[in-house]
Structure formats: structure tokens, C-alpha cells
Amino acid sequence: MDQKTPVTQGDSSPDGMPVSNPFLTAPVTRLFIVNALPVVFMMVMQGLLSIVDAIFLGHFVGTRALSAVSVVFPILIVTIALSSLLGGGLSSLYARHLGAGNRHRAAQVMASAHGLAMFIALAINLLYAAIGPRLILTLAQGDAEIAAMAGTYTRLLMLATPVQFLLSLHSDGFRNEGKAPMIAVTAVAVTLANMLFDYVFVVPLGYGVAGVALGTILAQLIAVVALVVMRLHPEAMLRLPTLFAHPWHRGWGNVLKLGAPMSLSMIGLALSSAVVISALGATALTGYPEKAAAYGIVTRLYGFAFMPLMGLAMGMQSIVGNNVGARLYRRSDAVLRVALGLAFAYCLALELLFVGFGGALARIFTDDPVVIAYAALILRNVSLLFAVVGPTLALALYFQAIGAPGLTALLSLLKPYVIAPMLVISGALMFGEHAIWPAQAVADLVVLCVTLVLLRRLYVPGQPGFGIRVTTDREDARDMP
């Protein structure tokens, strides 16, 4: 079969607009520096939001407030997962349309994602109103004070989900347009604003957990307004009026299909966290609030560590998507190799940090010696195979970028939905609470074995376009050499 002529710098798009796409021509290493590193920086700034929230709560409100926001972590992960659903589905389609030079179809995808975002925001708020309070009381193990603080915090963030979703869509949109440095600057502004708002609401005003939620919401709102204003610029690749020239109620299925695997993976993390919290509540003979607070510290450290990794994978996804859309398969393979190596090195360094310095990291959040000691214990156990997490994530997002959601689902859903819950529950029942934490490392080992088998089956020596032949985008598969 003949390979299609790639879209190159200076070609015209199907809608008659000139294409200027550095993703297709710049050296791969330079692309990572210019595009992926700003995305990594942006994700670090986003990760700092939860770190800052926890520090203010731990030092200015107390351990029970930290416990309150920790027990609702599974609920908040669901909102992040839905944000990932929108951003991930958008990115896979948007980047490939831009790579192919078709801005008209790219604009239609963006409009569809906006309509889907507003629908999901409404649905999740209605669902929370129906079952949220009872669910929070269950997660708080019946502690009315913790449940009340957790409810206040969650209710405010749920009402602000439209802001959160719009921020995800426009950040991912600009990232796929090659504007990652601009998004990184926006992320810095959001983080600094969040710190300022947290201080004002928590310390002088004394709003407690509500103040932390309000600080996050206001910071995100400022970012959304800034990004929307950028869409009004005459030289913007996708101008704001273009969004209203396309229907918002069509094309949801494509966004859902491609965004679902990573979104379901994050919902799986919420499930795993809920299982851990429930198992801890059932097996901890004493000190549940302190242990829940310690687990909350670990989830925030893990979340913060995960953000640069996600940024690296997202930066890779933008580059891969554009090059696959242009049928430049050797370039997309080179991008994947670089991403796998960087992800492994980063996660190995973090594994050594978490195992060796868990107590020092926990002291950033609290002065309570019980919480510090237990957080260090958790980190030593859950991080034993953290080095393999990065390459697996990079490979999963690569498959999402090329339009193969089934493979993304295999790598991203196996651990949180099957392996980790099974190991946590069985370990807690047989050996008690201390068996909960090593289960995470065992789950990582199982996923590593699955990944190695998958790599062996898909890799064909000398054949460019790793995994393209199994993609659901049959056009890409047919056009391989």
C-alpha cells in the first residue's frame, strides 16, 4: 500500500488555510524541550494546588481538617477523571486534525467537547445532590465533624466543575496548538493566585476548609477568563467565535471513546482510594483520623509527583498525534522512545526519594509525629516499584494519541479496577492494616508483566508506526507502508 504524502510546513489545509506546524518538522529533542517541558512545568504548578491546600489545612486548621479533605479524595478524583475524559478525548482528535491540516474539523471537535463538558457538569452536580452527603458520612466512618467539613469542601468544588472543565479544554487546546509555554505561564499565575487566596481565606478570615476550596475556585476562574480572552486574538489558531459556528451537541461519542480509557483509569484510582480508606477504617484498631490524614498526605505527594509525569506524557501525546495525523510514523516512534526513557528515569528518582525520605516529606504538611511516622511507613511500601509506573503511563497515552483506546484501557484500567482492589481487600482481611500498603507495589509488578507481553506482541523490527496497525482509526492503519 502506498503511504499518503505527509502534511509539511507550507502545505494548505483542506479548508484552504495555510499550515504552519513545527510538530512535523522540528527535531524531536527540540520538540520535547519546547513543548513537553512547558507542559511538565504546567502540571507541576497544578500539582502544587493540592500541596498548598494541604499545607494550609495541616498547619492553620488542624489534623481533622486534613482528614476531612483526605476522606473525600475519591470523590474529587472523579471530577479530575471527568476533566481528563474531556481533555484526553479532545487532544487525541484535535492534534490529529491539526497535524492533517484540517482546522475546520478541529474546531468542530472543540465545540463538541464544550457541549459535553457542560452536560457532564450538570449531571455530576445532580448526582452529588442525591447521594453526596450520605457517601461522605460513610467515607468519614460516621464522624459527624469530619463529614461536615468534608461536605462543605466538596460541595463548593462540585459547583465549580464547569470552571474546572473549561480550564482543561482550553489548556489542552492551546497545548496541541504548540502554545505550551503560554499555558505554563498561565499555570504559574494560577498557583500564585491560589496561594494568595488560600492565605487570605484561611488565616485572616478563618474560613477553614471552605477557604481552601474558594481559593482553588477563584484561581481557576481567573485562568479560564485569561485563556478565553486569548481566543479573541486575531492570530489565534482557533478563535472564540469559531466555537459558536459549530454545533455543541454533536460528536460527543468520539470524544468519549478516546477520552474514556484514561478517565476510567482515574475513576479507578478513586475506587482504589475508597477501598483503601474503607479497609483502613475496618482494620485500624486505633487512630483512624491520624492514619487517614497520613494517607491524605501520601495521596497528595503521589499526585504532585504524578503531575510532571503526566505533563511529559501529554507533551508526547501532542507531538505523536500531530505526526500520526501527518503519517510521519518514524518521527512518532522516535518521540515514544524518548518519552519512555525520560519517564523511567524520573520515576526511579522519585522512588528513591519516597523510600528514603518519607518522614521528611510528611513534615512539610504537619507537626503531628504520629501522622508523620505513618505517612513514612505508607510511602516506603507503596513506592517500591514506582519506577515502572512512568513508562506504562507514557505507553498508555501514546495509544490514546494514535486512536487505540482499547490498548490504553488495558494498561490504565487493569491495576485500579482489578488488581489493586483485590490485593488490598484480601490482604486486609487476612493480615490486617499493614498488608494494605505493599499491595500497591505488587499491583505495579503485575502491570509491568502485562506491559512487557504487549510490547513483545506489537513490536515489529524495521516497521515504523508502533501499534498503528491495531488502531481503531482504520485510515491510519491502511495508510501504513
Q: Which of 14-28, 264-278, 385-399 is least confident?
A: 14-28
Q: What's the confidence (pLDDT) of residue 451?
A: 92
> Does the pLDDT of residue 130 top 60, yes or no?
yes
> Does the pLDDT of residue 447 top 60, yes or no?
yes
Residue type, 164: Q
CA distances from 12 to 26, 75, 276 (A): 19, 46, 54
Q: What's the confidence (pLDDT) of residue 2?
A: 39
As given in the structure block, the three cell numbers for residue 171 are 489548556
Q: What's the confidence (pLDDT) of residue 28?
A: 80
> Does the pLDDT of residue 373 top 60, yes or no?
yes
Tens digit of each residue's pLDDT (9 = 90 or more) over 262-278: 677 778 777 888 888 88
Kindly write down the DSSP assignment for every residue of 50-95, as one continuous string: HHHHHHHIIIII-HHHHHHHHHTHHHHHHHHHHHHHHHHHHHHHHH
> Does the pLDDT of residue 477 top 50, yes or no?
no
Residue 292 near residue 64 (C-beta atoms within 8 A):
no
Q: Which whole number is the average pLDDT over 20-41?
A: 75
Q: Which of 34-38, 60-64, 132-136, 381-385 is least confident?
A: 34-38
The pLDDT-based confidence of 50 (bands split at 50, 70, 90) is confident
Tens digit of each residue's pLDDT (9 = 90 or more) over 230-240: 888 877 777 78
Tens digit of each residue's pLDDT (9 = 90 or more) over 156-208: 999 999 999 999 888 888 877 878 778 778 888 888 898 899 899 998 898 88
Q: What's the confidence (pLDDT) of residue 3?
A: 42
Q: What's the confidence (pLDDT) of residue 13?
A: 40
Highest-pLDDT range among 13-17, 58-62, 125-129, 262-266: 125-129
> Does the pLDDT of residue 403 top 50, yes or no?
yes
What is the rounded distance in angstroms from the CA atom of residue 408 to the CA atom of residue 394? 10
Q: Which of 124-133, 318-327, 452-461 is least confident?
A: 318-327
As given in the structure block, the three cell numbers for residue 177 are 496548538
Q: What's the confidence (pLDDT) of residue 8?
A: 43
Q: What's the confidence (pLDDT) of residue 278?
A: 85
| Average pLDDT, rounded, for the chain | 83
What is the rounded distance in angstroms from the CA atom of residue 416 to the CA atom of residue 105? 34
Sign of the CA dihedral 29, 191, 368, 279?
Answer: negative
CA distances from 375 to 9, 170, 241, 424 (A): 52, 36, 50, 17
Kindly write down the DSSP assignment for every residue of 289-348, as one continuous string: HHHHHHHHHHHHHHHHHHHHHHHHHHHHHHHHHHHHHTT-HHHHHHHHHHHHHHHHHHHH
